[in-house]
Amino acid sequence: MENIITLAIETSCDETSIGVLKNGREILSNRISSQIELHKKFGGVVPEVASRKHIETIDYILDDALKEANISLNDIDNIAVTYGPGLVGALLVGLSYGKALAYALDKPLVGVNHIEGHINANFIEHPELEPPFVCLIVSGGHSHLVYIKDYGEYEILGRTRDDAAGEAFDKIARAMNLGYPGGPIIDELSKEGNKDAVNFPRVYLEEDSFDFSFSGLKSAVLNYLNNQKQKDLDIVVEDVAASFQQAVIEVLVNKTLRAANLKNSNIITIAGGVAANEGLRKLMEEKAKGLGIDVKYPSKILCTDNAAMIGCAGYYDYIKGRISDLDLNAVPNLKL
Q: What's the burial of 96, exposed, middle or buried (CB within 10 Å: 0-12/13-18/19+)?
A: middle
Which listed range, 37-45, 178-186, 209-217, 257-265, lies at the site for ligand KG4 (CB under 6 A)? 178-186
Name residue 8's beta-bridge partners: 19, 80
Instruction: Say how far apart CA 248 and CA 214 lie, in whole Å.
Output: 8
Partner whose binding site includes residue 166, from ligand KG4, Zn ion, none (CB under 5 to 8 Å by kind): ligand KG4
Does the annotation list 118 as a binding residue? yes
> Site map for Zn ion, 84-123, x if CB under 5 A?
----------------------------------------
Ligand-binding site membership of 190 (annotated): no
In the bound complex, what is the minimum distance in angstroms from residue 113's beta carbon to Zn ion?
Answer: 11
272 binds ligand KG4 (CB under 6 A): yes
- In angstroms, the CA 49 to CA 222 distance is 29
Minimum CB distance to ligand KG4 smaller for 131 or for 272: 272
Please select the residue that binds ligand KG4; options are 158, 183, 193, 298, rule is CB under 6 A.
Answer: 183
H or E element in which residue 74 lies: none
* Cα-only R_g, the chain: 20
Q: How far is the CB of 204 from ligand KG4 (least distance, A)?
A: 20
Select from 10, 33, 26 the least CA-distant residue to 69: 26
| Near Zn ion by CB under 5 A: residue from 305, 306, 308, 318 | 305
Residues near ligand KG4 (CB under 6 A), total: 19
Residue 52 φ/ψ, nearest 5 degrees: -60, -40
Q: Does 181 bind ligand KG4 (CB under 6 A)?
A: yes
Angle of helix 307-319 versus helix 114-125 axis, rounded to 10: 90
Q: Are 84 and 333 in contact, with CB atoms under 8 Å apart? A: yes
> From CA 304, how far away is CA 309, in angstroms rounded?
10
Q: Which residue's CB is nearer to ligand KG4, number 78 or number 113?
A: 113
Q: Which residues are at the interface with ligand KG4 (CB under 6 A)?
A: 13, 139-141, 166, 169-170, 181-184, 187, 272-274, 276-277, 304-305
Residues that bind Zn ion (CB under 5 A): 139, 305
